[in-house]
Amino acid sequence: MLHEEVQIERRQHKRFRIKNRIITVQNREMNWTAHVVNISAGGMAVRYIDEGKLLTSTAEIDIMKDSDVFMTGIPVTVMRDYRYKDDENFTTVMERQSCLKFGELTPDEHDHVDYLIMKYSWGEA
């Protein structure tokens, strides 16, 4: 008998897909850049090229749109990080996906996240 892994849904917020992954996340301490795949009021998933540079378990990130800083110093906790495999598009570039949970945000930062969802999302993920 095969053992099947059961994954329990722990998210408290709806996730929304981001149009064309136009939002960029950066970490200044280690020159790490990723694109937002989806976002919720509680966190986001990002994809990045696997160059061996992983975020530490807790970090601060900046969120940018078209090279303009949108939010800075956002505290996040890495909940999961794994190699991403795209079965639809053949590519030799290895990507990773990281699931980030927001730390404590100010009311203004919450408003910015809500604006990102409203302005740049195209449906639930």
pLDDT in tens, 35-55: 899 999 999 999 998 888 887
pLDDT in tens, 91-123: 677 889 999 999 999 999 999 999 989 888 887
Global confidence as pTM: 0.80
The CA distance from 25 to 78, in Å, is 13
The CA distance from 106 to 22, in Å, is 24
* Domain covering 16-119 in this structure, CATH number: 2.40.10.220
Q: What are the residue ranges spanned by the domains of the chain? A: 16-119
